[in-house]
C-alpha cells in the first residue's frame, strides 16, 4: 500500500539478498515452495494460466495468480518501489508480464464494481495499491497531512523544468537552467518529489520525472492540470 514514507528513509537489504529476492522468499515460505509460486501439482495437466487455483491449507482460501498479485500489491515492494509486471511474473510460474497487466485490469474492475476504498495505479514502470482520493482524510488522520515542502529557488527552478519536460536527463536540465543542477535533482529525488529511472535501451542515461507525491503536494490530480504558458502570462 502507498503510505507516503518519510523522505530519505530507505530500507536496507539484509542477508545479502535483494529486495525482490526477499519478496520471493516470503511468498515461497507462505506457500511452502522453494521458488516461484506454483500453478499446479507435478504431473497433472495445468488449467489456463490465469484461471488456475490452488488452496492454501492454512487458510482454505483460493490461491491463484490474481489473488497472489493482489497480496503482493498489498504487501508492497520492500523498498517502496512500484511492482513491475516483470517482477510479478518472475514470482508466479507460467504467468507472463502481459498477463499480469490483464490481472491488474481484472482487479480494478472488481474494485470499481464493489466500490472499494482502494485501487491499483500505474506508476512509472510498475503498479501500486493505493487509497482512492476520496479516502485521503482517513490517511491524514493516521499519518498526518503532508507537510509543505520548503524548497529553495534553485530547487523550484529544477522542479519546474522537469515537470514541463519529463522524462528529462540531467544534461538537459543543466542546459535549460544554465547552471549545474545535480545537487537539486538529488535533493528532490530524496524527498520523493522526483524519481530517477534508467531506460532499458542504451545509453541508459538516467531520466527524471515527477512522482504522485509531487501531485499531492501541489494539489494536482494529474499533470494535465499544470499551468500552461498562456495561463502563466495572464498572472
Which three-class secondary structure string do you get for 74-130? HHCCCCCCCEEHHHHHHHECCCCHHHHHHHHHHHHHHHHHCCCCEEEEEECCEEEEE
Q: How far apart are CA 220 and CA 213, in angstroms?
A: 10
Classify 19-135 by CATH class: mainly alpha
Residue 79: the pLDDT is 65
Cβ contacts of 112 within 8 Å, gap of 6 or more: 119
pLDDT tens for each residue of 178-192: 999 998 998 898 888
**pLDDT at residue 53 tops 70:** no
Cell of 165: 519536460
**pLDDT at residue 102 tops 90:** yes
Q: How far apart are CA 6 and CA 55, in angstroms?
A: 38
Higher model confidence: residue 75 or residue 55?
75
**Averaged pLDDT, 146-155:** 71
**pLDDT at residue 200 tops 70:** yes
Q: Give the fold, CATH level 3, of 153-230.
A: Arc Repressor Mutant, subunit A (1.10.10)
CB-based contact 79:10 (threshold 8 Å): yes
**Averaged pLDDT, 43-59:** 44
Strand ranges in the chain using DSSP code E only, listed in sequence order: 54-55, 62-63, 83-84, 118-123, 126-131, 168-169, 194-197, 207-210
Using the structure block, give the residue that is written with the C-alpha cell 503536494.
217
Using the structure block, give the residue that is written with the C-alpha cell 501531485.
215
Question: What is the band of 164 on the pLDDT scale with cuts at 50, 70, 90?
Answer: very high
Domain ranges for the chain, please list them: 19-135, 153-230
How many of the other CB atoms lie within 10 Å of CB of 152?
10
Using the structure block, give the residue that is written with the C-alpha cell 507435478.
42
Residue 40: the pLDDT is 40
Residue 56: the pLDDT is 47
Is there a shared CATH topology between the 19-135 domain and the 153-230 domain? yes
The top-scoring range by mean pLDDT among 28-42, 158-172, 198-212 is 158-172
The chain-wide mean pLDDT, for the chain, equals 75
Beta strand 54-55 with 194-197 is unpaired
Query: Using CA of residue 97, residue 103, residue 108, residue 109, what is the dihedral sign?
Result: positive
Question: What is the band of 54 on the pLDDT scale with cuts at 50, 70, 90?
Answer: very low
**Averaged pLDDT, 140-158:** 73
**pLDDT at residue 24 tops 70:** no
CB-based contact 87:20 (threshold 8 Å): yes
**Helices 170-177 and 182-190, axial angle in degrees (round to 10):** 120
pLDDT tens for each residue of 28-49: 665 555 545 544 433 333 444 4
Cell of 61: 482460501
User: Alpha-carbon dihedral of residues 69, 70, 75, 79, nearest 10 degrees?
Assistant: 50
Residue 17: the pLDDT is 59
- Number of C-alpha atoms within 13 angstroms, CB side, residue 99? 17
Amino acid at each position: 500500500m502507498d503510505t507516503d514514507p518519510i523522505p530519505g528513509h530507505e530500507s536496507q537489504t539484509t542477508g545479502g539478498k535483494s529486495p525482490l529476492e526477499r519478496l520471493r522468499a516470503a511468498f515461497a515460505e507462505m506457500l511452502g515452495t522453494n521458488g516461484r509460486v506454483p500453478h499446479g501439482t507435478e504431473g497433472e495437466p495445468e488449467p489456463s494460466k490465469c484461471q488456475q487455483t490452488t488452496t492454501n491449507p492454512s487458510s482454505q482460501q483460493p490461491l491463484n495468480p490474481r489473488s497472489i498479485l493482489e497480496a503482493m500489491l498489498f504487501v508492497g515492494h520492500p523498498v517502496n518501489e512500484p511492482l513491475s509486471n516483470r517482477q510479478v511474473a518472475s514470482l508466479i510460474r507460467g504467468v507472463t508480464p502481459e498477463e499480469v497487466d490483464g490481472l491488474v485490469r481484472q482487479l480494478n474492475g472488481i474494485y470499481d464494481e464493489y466500490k472499494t476504498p482502494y485501487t491499483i495505479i500505474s506508476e512509472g514502470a510498475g503498479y501500486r495499491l493505493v487509497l482512492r482520493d476520496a479516502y485521503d482524510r482517513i490517511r491524514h488522520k493516521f499519518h498526518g497531512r503532508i507537510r509543505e515542502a520548503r524548497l529553495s529557488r534553485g530547487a523550484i527552478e529544477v522542479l519546474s523544468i522537469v515537470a514541463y519536460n519529463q522524462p528529462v536527463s540531467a544534461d538537459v536540465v543543466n542546459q535549460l537552467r544554465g547552471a549545474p543542477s545535480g545537487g537539486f535533482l538529488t535533493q528532490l529525488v530524496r524527498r520523493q518529489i522526483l524519481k530517477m529511472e534508467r531506460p532499458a535501451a542504451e545509453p541508459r542515461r538516467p531520466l527524471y520525472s515527477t512522482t504522485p507525491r509531487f501531485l499531492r503536494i501541489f494539489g494536482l490530480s494529474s499533470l494535465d492540470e499544470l499551468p500552461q504558458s498562456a495561463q502563466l502570462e495572464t498572472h
